[in-house]
Chains A and B, each alone.
Chain A
Amino acid sequence: MSKTAQKLLTVQNLSVDFKTPERVFHAVKDVSFNIAEGQTVALVGESGSGKSVSALSIMQLLPYPLASHSAKSSILFNGEELVGKKDDFMRHIRGSQIGMIFQEPMSALNPLHTIEKQIGEVLRLHQKMNDTQTSTRVKELLDMVQLPMMKQRLNAYPHELSGGQRQRVMIAMALANDPELLIADEPTTALDVTVQAEILELLEELQQELNMAMLMITHDLSIVEKFADHVCVMKDGELVEQDQTSKIFTTPNHIYSKRLLGALPKGKPQTPKSDAQNVMAGENIKVHFPTQKSFFGKVTKWVKAVDGIDIEIKIGHTLGVVGESGSGKSTLGYALLRLLNGQGNIIFDGQDISRFTRKQMTPLRSDIQIVFQDPFSALSPRMSVASIIGEGLKVHRPDLNTKGRDDLVVESLKNVHLDPDTRHRYPHEFSGGQRQRIAIARAMVLHPKFVVLDEPTSALDVSVQVEIIDLLRELQTKHNLAYLFISHDLRVIRAMAHDLIIMKQGKVVESGKAEDIFQNPQAEYTKTLLEAALNLKTQKAA
């Protein structure tokens, strides 16, 4: 990309205010950046930093007049001021000169329109094409986004496509009118890692082919490093630093950029005793859900969420479970906890608990705990932190009085590095990371031997992820805990797991020591997964 290319988009002193009943919320404060022709600019920041709002202002798609720009705000596109322009004018820009790709391909496509209609709509609108022209161009576009097989299925509806295919259709829609600028709002966040890599490669190829500028909004720094020419780091609505990608990644100036860049999960799991005994083992675990029943109630179709899995977890060890969405990772975790009923033997602490009733399980519950992915839904919004953490104590430690329980709650909050004085507050007063600490405290207060961690870091911002991983490692060493760590994020897994199993469609693809698998993956699927996640490169399946 030439450095002397003309400026396509100039954003100057952009501010966005939102009026809420209580106050005016400044979502974006005085942001300025440029995009040259054919250049890729990345807007990076954690959730709530104003990335998406900035992008939507370029399209003038904010809910005006609830949202408003300050008088100084200016967005020049090809020399034309966009701020404050009427919808009539913007409609010529949107979809024809500036295209946009959204995060969630399922909700961004109209479920009642066929693929041809979705893509064709922009063509008919902006280029006034007739049916035959539209159809030809749609086929051309499908070739371009590497969906040639879809040419025979122009009448397919969005639900018939996979997530990656839907995202490709979205890209085709955005590219239909050869836009000069493409805004991609977290284009791959909702997709699995292997698909992510493919979509990103496609975007890069198309960009070079069409010499199109791209504004990429993301929180994933590995994507930025690979694809962007220029990076803008945003925090709390302010643009704290912007520079060429290589410069930012080598010598970040602003303290926040440094934190963000240093936030990639690092470190190694501690080495536990090698002669440790098994605390939890599963033999041939199967969980099948009926999806179709015959007239007489006999099940004719099953979803095999978990289909014959053997695992072993030793004291003080972490078993990582990796797989894409729908591979049955969480179901496996729930089955081990006996929150779901499945087949196969589950041996915990020397006894087979797979046939235990709810009553028989109750005394064991204090030894087996779980931490969930989303800290916002895992804590009851109507209970104070003290009662959330103390709930398990009420069941398992009836010998304690109120004072004794409170002491343990205080101790557990200290263990997760939270101020014990906050225990009478409600969950909504805490940030995502703090909430996850509370959820961990709830599990740890009972002194469990085995904890299932179901994507405990996925819903958190990167810088918080690191803290939580450090905490989990610290607790593991302190209490000699066994973890089942479920995640799709291989970097997190690498920092946590001693042993690893890779799951796909309910079956184990590969298992063994984490080190061995990372160094020398055997199965084809594992190789693709590792490369997609760690190098963002995929070899096209031969």
Chain B
Amino acid sequence: MNLSPITQRRLAQFKANKRGFWSFWIFLTLLILCLGAEFIANDKPLLVGFDNALYTPVFNNYPETTFGGDFETEADYRDPYVQELINAEGWMVWPPIKFSYDTINYDLPQPAPSPPTIDNIFGTDDQGRDVAARVIYGFRISVLFGLILTLISSVIGITAGAFQGYYGGKLDLIMQRVIEVWSSLPSLYILIIFSAMFIPGFWTLLAILLLFSWVSLVDVVRAEFLRTRNFDYVKAANALGVSNLTIMRRHVLPNAMVATLTLMPFILTGSITALTSLDFLGLGLPPGSASLGEMLAQGKNNLQAPWLGITAFVSLALMLSLLTFIGEAVRDAFDPRKANL
């Protein structure tokens, strides 16, 4: 890959921030692991060898009759009867955690929420679901939600900021006032009202949060475009007859990307926190879905079961700290005055 010297310098600067650099790798590893959550925490075996044939329950549904059972419904591999059938003529490979986020463990030593055991390493929540499995799935949904929200709001924010900054004048004036009014609305209350009006799901929540999150990048990008549009090389491109859109994309946007990339990790943490707080208030993702916010709420309601609150807190704190550290390193990387290599 042919990197320009300026990019090479930024990479070196990013690596020079040891904390951020390691945070980046830890976060990336966690993210990749959580993307394959089905292979880490599931109530189905990864692989079943039965009667000289291989079955992959994670990907396919097999009726119980496949393994010599009685029902046409999907096999419940946690059922001792099914396990007995399979083990009689074959074998099963289980993931490290034998529960999915919505698997209810009926075999608990004491009423739910039950404390950590060998089966449920972080205990169970108040409905008997495994906390470890729920953290993994919850982490995945939080990060994915955050990433998608950041991406879409960045695209909208950059576009809006770009047009305002490049064209200036009346368009800029009107848009600025609209954004000022818009961002002074009490967003959390409006989010609560909206989530009461719509049936909350992943995409509806995304759309609702998007209403307010796109604003954050507009100012930075606008300022950068305002500054850059008077550069000589932009004037030269104008004199060459290059179209406005091309000038914006080719000559001005690269300048604005520095400010944008610096801000992005912090927008990501903001998005994750927003989702978590809605979940905590019970206005977020539909009941039953894995969510760190919901687990925090459970921890609050079950102070006698500290593993709930502590697990949720630690996983949230870890995720947000990692992202903040990465954000710091990114900021260092783009800081031209920083030269501690």
Contacts and interface: CB of A to CB of B under 8 A. Distances in A.
A365 B233 contact: no
Given A377-B231, A382-B4, A366 B241 contact: yes
A348 interface: no
Contact of A392 (B235, B240, B250): B240
A127 to B, nearest CB: 39
A1 interface: no
A370 interface: yes
Contacts of A339: 235, 238-239
Residue among A22, A380, A428 with most chain B CB within 10 A: A380
B42 to A, nearest CB: 47
Given A21-B339, A374-B232, A377-B231, A337 B239 contact: yes
Interface residues of B, number: 22
A428 B186 CA distance: 48
B254 interface: yes
A364 B251 CA distance: 22
B68 interface: no
Given A382-B254, A391-B240, A372 B235 contact: yes
Contacts of B254: 382
Contacts of A366: 240-241
Interface string B226-239: 00000111011111
Given A21-B339, A380-B251, A395 B233 contact: no
A382 B240 CA distance: 18
Given A392-B242, A395-B243, 16 more contacts: A21-B340, A337-B239, A339-B238, A361-B241, A366-B240, A368-B239, A370-B235, A374-B232, A378-B232, A380-B233, A381-B6, A382-B4, A382-B6, A391-B240, A391-B242, A439-B236
B237 to A, nearest CB: 7
B241 A365 contact: yes
Interface in A412-449: 426, 428, 439, 442, 446
Nearest to A384: B4
B178 interface: no
Interface of A: 20-22, 334, 337, 339, 358, 361-366, 368-370, 372-374, 377-383, 391-392, 395-396, 426, 428, 439, 442, 446
Main secondary structure on chain B at its contact with chain A? Answer: helix
Contacts of B242: 391-392, 395
Interface in B194-244: 231-233, 235-244
Contacts of A428: 5
A436 B236 CA distance: 13
Contacts of A446: 240
B236 A372 contact: yes
A305 B2 CA distance: 46
A7 B236 CA distance: 54
B167 to A, nearest CB: 12
A162 B237 CA distance: 35
A9 to B, nearest CB: 34
A368 B232 CA distance: 16
A244 to B, nearest CB: 42
Contact of A379 (B233, B239, B243, B341): B233
B233 A377 contact: yes
Nearest to B255: A382
21 contacts: A21-B341, A334-B235, A337-B239, A358-B244, A364-B241, A365-B240, A365-B241, A370-B235, A372-B232, A372-B235, A377-B233, A379-B233, A380-B233, A381-B6, A382-B4, A391-B237, A391-B240, A391-B242, A395-B242, A395-B243, A446-B240
Contacts of B239: 337, 339, 365, 368-370
Interface of B: 4-6, 231-233, 235-244, 250-251, 254, 339-341
B173 to A, nearest CB: 11
B136 to A, nearest CB: 41
Contacts of A370: 235-236, 239
Contacts of B6: 381-382
Contacts of B243: 362, 395
Nearest to A379: B233
A337 B241 CA distance: 11
Contacts of A381: 6
Contacts of B235: 334, 339, 370, 372
A395 B241 contact: yes
B172 to A, nearest CB: 15
Nearest to B235: A339
Contact of A362 (B5, B231, B237, B241): B241
Contacts of A379: 233
Which of B236, B239, B243, B341 is most buried by chain A, counting CB atoms within 10 A of its CB? B239
A131 to B, nearest CB: 41
A146 to B, nearest CB: 38
B4 A426 contact: yes
A382 B252 CA distance: 10
B134 to A, nearest CB: 46
A431 B292 CA distance: 56
A382 B7 CA distance: 10
A378 B240 CA distance: 13
Contacts of A22: 341
B341 to A, nearest CB: 5
Contact of A442 (B236, B339, B340): B236
B339 A378 contact: no
Contacts of A368: 239
A439 B236 CA distance: 9
A446 B241 CA distance: 11
A377 B232 contact: yes
A382 B257 CA distance: 12
Contacts of A374: 232
Nearest to B254: A382
